[in-house]
Structure 1
Amino acid sequence: MPTDPFKNLNPAQPVKVLPRHLAGPGPASPSTVWPFPFDQDWSLHQPEEGPAFATSPCLRLWTSFELQPDKPRKGTWTIAANRIPFGPAAWKITLDASTPVELLHDLHTELLDLYLEDRHSDRDWLYEDEIAPHEAYAPLFARGWSHQVKTDGTQIFLAPEGLGGLRHRYATTGPDGPTWRAWGGYPSEPHWQARFSSGTPTTLVAAFTASLISTEPVHRTAQDVPFHTRHQLYVAAPAPAKQTTGPLPVAPPPQSPGRSL
């Protein structure tokens, strides 16, 4: 097993690490994840206890965060779109609170962009997305992810180290469940999962996978990184902070054996 690059570090030592799917959640909160213009027309409901909600002016789009610190994955982020205000959800995305905060923020940023495009267009981009599924998974090949097509109407993409994945249900003959599911960690017991229901705009899935495989390191402290998979992380650089326990191992980001973006 590779050595643990964090074993000689003070737990509070800031570091920059890759890959993102193994970096741990980071400091996620509605204020760091939601980019919505609450000073303009978006509504925010954030009580002292219970879920926080953000709602679009048209009341057809909402997102929420329910913190559950006693649960293994600490709670749930939910995004949903309704064709009519307060109607049934046309599609829904659910993400564990243990999902890396950078993935959550990039997804919600794309959600706002899609909403604004929908608002200023004669098309319902929130419900009539024309982006093909391969736009969401093709970039994975350039980062060395493997690909397997199954006979149940699904295809699975696995990260090079096998500790992250994306499952796409491309045929309606497959089992019930989300059209897309992503995870980080061991498949049998992932650190986090994200689920995208049928009807979710592929644009949002593509934004999530682009953030998932980004080569921009994320900021964490040594104690933030999940213990069981930290030996698979690359320390891209130490963050500016005084080091107390010896030199910091520095490794380059993973090199993809395939095409480059």
Structure 2
Amino acid sequence: MHTPPIDPFTNFGPDQNVKVLPRHLAGPGGRDIASIWPFPFDDGWHLHPAGEGMAFSSSPCARLWTRLVLEPDNTRGQGTWTIGASRIPFGPKAWVMTFDVTTPVELVRDVHTELLDVYLEDRDRLFDDDTAPHTAYAPLFARGWSHELQTAGTQTFRSPDGLGAVRHRFDAGRSRGPGDAAWTTWAGDGANAHWKARFTCGTPATLVAAFTASLISTEPLHRTVKDVPLDFRHRLYTAAATAHQPTAVPPPAGPAPGRTR
């Protein structure tokens, strides 16, 4: 009979604050719109009235929008964060980014922060970004992520624990529409992911790079024990978030997948 892995949180109460890594296994965290959407609402950005379980914001030029839709009855994603952009106000979407609400909110926040920075510096980069795609995936190698090249014009990068992935469809020769995903990233089993994020063709690589940089950051995320996914607890590095020097609790040792190039 298979022995269940040891839960490193056994001696912690459900409301105990902890710091955890890696980020892709940390759980979603709190959905505080004020911290996730850093937009200057007193300077032309709009926060639109919305129904229960929904929040919506748009830029002063009406070419950029973002929303949160909660769907608690959706057993997988439980809702989505979505960012969209149009070349003309209220026109067809040039690109879209979606994140399950089970995605760690710090990753979503960092994308919105970069989004605002690009918008304020040069909003045309939201539609004609010359940032090379490797900017988004090259840093993964420095964190020990493996690389698999598929014949269908895709490449997949996997975290050392095998539970995080970033997939990039790079085949420029294949005809793709604006709704097709150029980037997909997830945690857990790809067929039944704990969370998934999707970036359609045309999404600025600058924004994808902001997401992957946050994904592999070594800055721990703060969670309460009850908010950390049960399936991943034995794979996390954890520390009690107290005023004293914390003692890290590493996950069980195991071989990391080797890199294939």
Q: Structure 1: state its 5+ residue gaps.
A: none
Question: Which amino acid letter does the alignment assign opposite residue 214 of structure 1?
Answer: S
Q: Match of 1:231?
A: 234
Q: Match of 1:150?
A: 150
Structure 2 residue 72 is the aligned partner of structure 1 residue 69: yes
Q: Match of 2:25?
A: 22
Q: Secondary structure of 1:128's partner?
A: coil
Moved more, 164-173 or 45-54: 45-54
Q: Match of 1:187?
A: 190
Structure 2 residue 249 is the aligned partner of structure 1 residue 250: yes
Conserved in 2, the CA contact under 8 Å of 1:44 and 1:54? yes
In the alignment, the residues of structure 2 paired with residue 216 and residue 34 of structure 1 have an alpha-carbon distance, to the nearest angstrom, of 20
Q: Match of 2:6?
A: 3
| Deviation, structure 1 residue 203 | 0.1
Moved more, 171-180 or 225-234: 171-180
Identity of aligned residues (%): 60
Conserved in 2, the CA contact under 8 Å of 1:45 and 1:54? yes
- Which of 117, 121, 137 lines up with 1:117 in the alignment? 121
In the alignment, the residues of structure 2 paired with residue 190 and residue 63 of structure 1 have an alpha-carbon distance, to the nearest angstrom, of 23
In the alignment, the residues of structure 1 paired with residue 11 and residue 79 of structure 2 have an alpha-carbon distance, to the nearest angstrom, of 31
Conserved in 1, the CA contact under 8 Å of 2:160 and 2:257? no
Moved more, 129-138 or 177-186: 177-186
In the alignment, the residues of structure 2 paired with residue 157 and residue 104 of structure 1 have an alpha-carbon distance, to the nearest angstrom, of 20
Conserved in 1, the CA contact under 8 Å of 2:168 and 2:182? yes
| Deviation, structure 1 residue 248 | 6.7
In the alignment, the residues of structure 1 paired with residue 248 and residue 145 of structure 2 have an alpha-carbon distance, to the nearest angstrom, of 25
In the alignment, the residues of structure 1 paired with residue 74 and residue 132 of structure 2 have an alpha-carbon distance, to the nearest angstrom, of 36
In the alignment, the residues of structure 2 paired with residue 181 and residue 173 of structure 1 have an alpha-carbon distance, to the nearest angstrom, of 19
Conserved in 2, the CA contact under 8 Å of 1:2 and 1:232? no
Question: Which amino acid letter does the alignment assign opposite residue 163 of structure 1?
Answer: L
Q: Structure 2: state its 5+ residue gaps.
A: none
Conserved in 2, the CA contact under 8 Å of 1:95 and 1:194? yes
Conserved in 2, the CA contact under 8 Å of 1:152 and 1:174? no
In the alignment, the residues of structure 1 paired with residue 15 and residue 224 of structure 2 have an alpha-carbon distance, to the nearest angstrom, of 5
- TM score, norm. by length of structure 2: 0.88
Conserved in 2, the CA contact under 8 Å of 1:13 and 1:241? no
